[in-house]
Amino acid sequence: MTRHITRSTTWALSACLAFATAVAPCAASERSTVKTAEPVAKSTPIREPALTELSPASRALLAHAANAPAPARTQPQTPDTSSASSFFTSKRGIVTLVLMGVGTGFTLWSIQHDREPVKSPVR
Amino acid sequence: MHRLLRTAGALVCAALLAAPVMAQTLTGAIAGTVTDEQGAVLPGVTVTLTGKQGSTTQVTDANGSYRFVALEVGTYQVEADLSGFQKATRPDLQISPGRELTIDLQLKIGGLTETVTVSGESPVVDVKSSATETTISQSLLYSAPITRTAINVINYAPGVNDGSAYGGDSDSGNALLIDGVDTRDPSGGTAWTFYNYNIVEEYQFQGLGAPAEYGGFTGAVVNTITKSGGNRFSGLFDVFGTNKSLGSDNTPADIAAQNPSLADPAVTRRYADITTQIGGPIQQNKLFFFASAQRFLLVTDPTGPITTRHEVSPRLNFKLNWQPNPSNNFTGHVQFDAYNIIGRPGVSSLIATDDLTVNEDAPEYVWMLQWRHLFNASTFSEVKYTGWTGFYDLNPVVNQPGHFDGLTGLYSVSAGFFYYADRGRDQVNASVTHYADKFGRHELKFGAEIEHSTTRDRYGFPDGLYFYDYGGAPYYAYNYSYDISAVNTRQSVFAQDSWQMTDRLTANVGVRGDMLQGKGKDTDRVYSSSNWAPRLGLAWDLAGDNRTVLRGSYGWYYEGSQTALFTRALPGIADYITYAVNPDFSLGDIVDVAPSIPYKVADDIKHPRVDEATVAFERALSGTMRLTLTGIWRDNKNFVNSVNPSARWLPVTTTDENGNPITLYNWANRDESDTDYVIRNVNGFQYLDPDGNVIGTADPFRKYRAFMAVLRKAYTNRWQAQISYVFAKTNGNVDNSGGQQIATRQFETPNLALVNAEGNLTYTPRHEFKLLGSYQIPRVEASVNAVFRATSGLYYTHIEQFPNSLLNALTAYRRIRIEPLGARQLPSLYQFDVRFEKSFRFPGSNRLDIYADIENLVNRGGITDVITRSTSVALPDGTSFDLPFNTPGAIQAPRQVRIGARWSF
């Protein structure tokens, strides 16, 4: 595998990287109001509580609770700073996109412009 | 027992079959036990862990225990829920790489909707690890006025100075990892890839008592983990800069008088560092992105005749995290950096003019692909492909042959050389981690690594010539070049166990094997070394309250694979040809040809390593403060160098420039022996006189002894700090400047190997005091953040260049110490940097920070280097001056104010 980075491949790859840098935010989604958060790790199987290991008070409480209807399990929610509307249609999202575009464009310009005087003739 | 062995055996096989790894831990874990108010364990409790990329649940087992493994670095919340009890929540749990937090929760009987938030601090003492932690708190790092060159952060850790960690080689002895990618130069081990300070999620320093998964270093490991996106959108926009008007001049008049070059101090004309970042979800809970663009610019007028140095680093980073299901997590990260410099000195910076500079063009790509798979709550694996590729080219600004005048000492016309370095590294890592509960608790980890790295170095003169003039008239011309391609391959395996034998005693044992091979691009193997390194450690929770621990560790740490070890044994070096030159600068006859003969490499060579033992006592002084006392012993072994078995040396006694008698060695048979060199472990090599009598034996050694005290205070009551003091001594006869234990030619001559060879090594100050601290001022809600470093002076030695007529040797062999190594010390150095920062918080977690850094607040002009060999300097304007021994050669950078603003959310 050649290790030479030619000017054209450098430009092409950096453009791809910049493209990803700029486009990914646009492809980003908002929190779905329907979907529930999924666990990032596999859960262990749910086991029945071993009552013999509990203290008497807990045992009595659990024995009572076993006959009661199970409470609705609340799915943990990840905090989200965005409102229901899309982040990128919000004022902050638009400003963010503009700044990212400017920053990425400036960096790309620098890759080309600032390297111009130092580009090695053997590359 | 059989089951445990079978499990372990299967995991070893799985790791080996899965092939390669560089397994440095990038994740942490949270485990604990849930009890009721009477302390009885509660099985069946639903425990929910919430981080920035989603939530996961477990149910406590029959022992009331739970454990979440393979957690990305970040902040988490744990919540325990059982019908009939109040919920218990522990927020703000900070996960660090390689550390398991123990979070025990107690449930109280109560209503179903009630929640108790426990605000207890995270444990401040890790009572299971036998590694002495030298981590710097992230909040301290982010608030501190440290240099924006992120790799220099290592110098803020206790025991590390000028890149030399615990007496190791400066810079080249350290392993530098970005998301597990080894970004060092595969030739000499120095830093090659730099990165944006703002993309760092966490730094971790390892080096004292590091477990078997860490290898390839004899100094320290800097483990850098970059930011990732999460379910929340986050952004950062940072502008940081300065200019000439915000700088000062700190050159004392007496120093300027001694060294006129320092009278023209370095001036920062312009500095601008702009970062834009965004991270967030592409698909909630499943796919996340992080993107960063940065442009760094530094324009200076350096010390000396050069008028402009222009340094730019535009960088792009992009990272994706994909967790298609709860058991699998994929990460991809790529960085491109187009680092370049205009105005890099091509000769000594004291005399280089703009014409005598080179341009540096040094772009590179860094990449990482990782798959993490959870088999169950006790077992997970990681497979990773990482690497980088880039080049580093130096081209003379004036593309003509350079000239050096032997009478005046003047360099002219051009820098006189070009240098092209190609580098690449590919690496595959795989590891399996398994938690077991037989005979105590075990955290087992097995892994394998495969590395393939390439280097190519090209050097030569413009038009193939370099002129040696005399009094302005042509005299000689030289022709020389090389083009050397080398390949490193490495296969490593490791196995380790953190075995919690009792509630209070943990044994950390492991072994690491590194098989290293080196060759030329088109040659057979020239270097081969297989090494096994034990790692043993104990951690004893003295009081059983998780507040006091006594640690001990012993281990061998082998240096990384470096082509510099054997490149002199490869083809590609041209003969060194000397021509006579006619008055019109045309070439005359060939005067001399020094043939290039590749070195040989000993078959039984052993790879350099350091043996280390540590003993540490750590005590929590409060819920947020701890004190660590550590004793460190390190001995370097297996020094590799080159020797000349055929050379014979004739003792000669002469007088040095101080008027003292000194015995040196004349190369008696240079013509017959100057092509006979062997790269080997040099201990025991005998230097002979013409009659075959032994005049001395090589005995390379380096011993580091240190006592380290570190007080850490986490942020509470408006302040945080890390205060450290290190008393250290590194004694030996192989200095700890870069690459000394592998790549110098010190042992080719007894004049460097034997004469005044032993003493204090350069980069270990005897006393070192470091303070990082921050304080939040009430009412104005602004913070003051300070870094203060006071170190006793570095060591140096008086060197004299003796004439060829006396020693019959190359110039480099004639520059000899005329007093023991490290006989002198620079003055103590004090550096005080401060940051003032004012934060404004707005709705929606928006935050605006305005900050100002003042580097060298008191504008001290402490001496950081001196002239160690008397010399003269000639400048193109006709001026010249002498720089006798002990003349100040460099001083601290002057006071400079930098101003920044950062918007983040």
Residue contact B37–A102, C-beta within 8 A: no
Alpha-carbon distance of B184 to B89, in angstroms, equals 43
Residue contact A104–B61, C-beta within 8 A: no
Q: What is the pLDDT of residues B166-222, one digit of tens each?
A: 999 998 889 888 887 888 999 998 888 887 778 888 888 888 999 999 999 999 888
**pLDDT at res. A10:** 53
Q: Which residue of A has its CA nearest to B341?
A: A118
Q: Which of residues 75-94 of A touch B (CB under 8 A)?
A: 75-82, 87, 92-93
Residue contact B393–A120, C-beta within 8 A: yes
Q: What is the 3-state secondary structure (H, E, C) of B679-731?
A: EEECCCCEEECCCCCEEEECCCCEEEEEEEEEEEEEEECCEEEEEEEEEEEEE
Angle between helices A7-27 and A91-113 (to 10 degrees): 180
The dihedral through the CA atoms of B588, B590, B592, B596 has a sign that is positive
Q: Is B790 helix (H, G, I), strand (E, B) or coil?
A: strand
Alpha-carbon distance of B847 to B700, in angstroms, equals 56
Alpha-carbon distance of A30 to A93, in angstroms, equals 11
Q: Which residues of B touch A17 (CB under 8 A)?
A: 316, 318, 334, 336
Residue type, B184: R
Alpha-carbon distance of B125 to B620, in angstroms, equals 6
Q: Which residues of B touch A104 (CB under 8 A)?
A: 276, 291, 293, 316
The closest CB to that of A47, out of B43, B363, B844, belongs to B43
**Chain center to CA of A24:** 11
Residue contact B233–A81, C-beta within 8 A: yes
Specify whether the backbone of B544 is left (phi greater than 0), alpha (psi in -120 to 50) or beta.
Answer: left
A63 touches chain B (CB under 8 A): no
Which two structure tokens, joined as six digits, stand for B448? 């394998």
Give B6-50 as a DSSP string.
HHHHHHHHHHHHH--------EEEEEEEEEETTS-B-TT-EEEEE
Alpha-carbon distance of A76 to B52, in angstroms, equals 12
The answer to whether A93 and A81 have CB atoms below 8 angstroms apart is: no
The closest CB to that of A118, out of B59, B281, B361, belongs to B361
Alpha-carbon distance of B67 to B55, in angstroms, equals 14
**pLDDT at res. B501:** 95
Alpha-carbon distance of B110 to B723, in angstroms, equals 45
Beta carbons within 10 angstroms of residue B663's beta carbon: 12
Q: Which of residues 325-384 of B touch A (CB under 8 A)?
A: 325-327, 329, 334, 336, 338, 340-342, 359-361, 363, 365, 374, 376-377
Which two structure tokens, joined as six digits, stand for A89? 């249609």
pLDDT above 50 (res A4):
no
A98 touches chain B (CB under 8 A): no
The answer to whether B45 and B59 have CB atoms below 8 angstroms apart is: yes
* Nearest CA distance, B458 vs chain A (angstrom): 11
H helix and E strand count, chain A: 3, 0
The answer to whether B238 and B902 have CB atoms below 8 angstroms apart is: yes
* Nearest CA distance, A68 vs chain B (angstrom): 9
Strand partners, B130: none
B275 touches chain A (CB under 8 A): yes
Alpha-carbon distance of B739 to B172, in angstroms, equals 6
Q: Which residues of A touch B391 (CB under 8 A)?
A: 3-5, 120, 123
A11 touches chain B (CB under 8 A): no
Picking from A47, A75, A78 by the largest number of B CB atoms within 10 A of its own CB, the best residue to mutate is A78
Residue type, B237: F
**pLDDT at res. B79:** 92
Q: Minimal CA–CA distance to B46: which of B55, A59, B284, B441?
A: B55
Give B564-603 as a DSSP string.
GGTGGGSS-BPPEEEEEE-TTS-EEEEEEEE---PPEE-T
Residue contact A41–B70, C-beta within 8 A: yes
The dihedral through the CA atoms of B462, B463, B465, B469 has a sign that is negative
Beta carbons within 10 angstroms of residue B113's beta carbon: 9
Alpha-carbon distance of B202 to B429, in angstroms, equals 21
Residue contact A82–B232, C-beta within 8 A: yes
The answer to whether B321 and A33 have CB atoms below 8 angstroms apart is: no
**pLDDT at res. B240:** 93
| CA dist B274 → A18, B313, B848 (Å) | 16, 11, 15
**pLDDT at res. A52:** 41
pLDDT above 60 (res A21):
no
Residue contact B456–A93, C-beta within 8 A: no
Q: Minimal CA–CA distance to B201: which of B230, B220, B178, B224?
A: B224
Beta carbons within 10 angstroms of residue A46's beta carbon: 11
B231 touches chain A (CB under 8 A): yes
Alpha-carbon distance of B123 to B133, in angstroms, equals 14
DSSP label at B310?
A: E
Which two structure tokens, joined as six digits, stand for B743? 């790549």
Indicate yes or no: pTM above 0.80.
Answer: yes
Alpha-carbon distance of B85 to A57, in angstroms, equals 11
Alpha-carbon distance of B182 to B52, in angstroms, equals 27
Q: What is the 3-state secondary structure (H, E, C) of B437-459?
A: CCCCEEEEEEEEEEEEEEEEEEE
Question: HSE (CB half, 13 Å, CA atoms) of B472?
Answer: 2
In B227-308, beta strands by DSSP E: 234-243, 267-283, 287-301
**pLDDT at res. B176:** 85
Q: Minimal CA–CA distance to B218: which of B764, B606, B639, B608?
A: B608
State the virtual CA torsion across B732, B734, B736, B740 in degrees, nearest 10: -160
Spell B486-516 as b/e; 16+ CB within 10 A means b: bbbbbbbbbbbbbbbeeebebbbbbbbbbbb
Q: Any residues with CB less than 8 A from the CB of A113 and at least 6 apart, and which? A: none
Q: Minimal CA–CA distance to A17: which of B225, B292, B384?
A: B292
Predicted ipTM of the assembly:
0.85
Alpha-carbon distance of B797 to B799, in angstroms, equals 6
Q: CA B582, B587, B588: angle at the middle one, nearest 5? A: 70
- Is residue A13 packed enough to be buried (19+ CB in 10 Å), middle (13-18) or exposed (0-12)? middle
Question: Phi then psi for B803, rounded to 5 degrees?
Answer: -70, 150
Segments in chain B below pLDDT 50: 1-23
Which two structure tokens, joined as six digits, stand for B540? 């004893």
Residue type, B580: A
Alpha-carbon distance of B791 to B829, in angstroms, equals 5
- Parallel/antiparallel/unpaired status of strands B87-95 and B115-117: parallel
The answer to whether B87 and B46 have CB atoms below 8 angstroms apart is: no
Alpha-carbon distance of A72 to B112, in angstroms, equals 10
**pLDDT at res. A89:** 86
* Nearest CA distance, B455 vs chain A (angstrom): 9
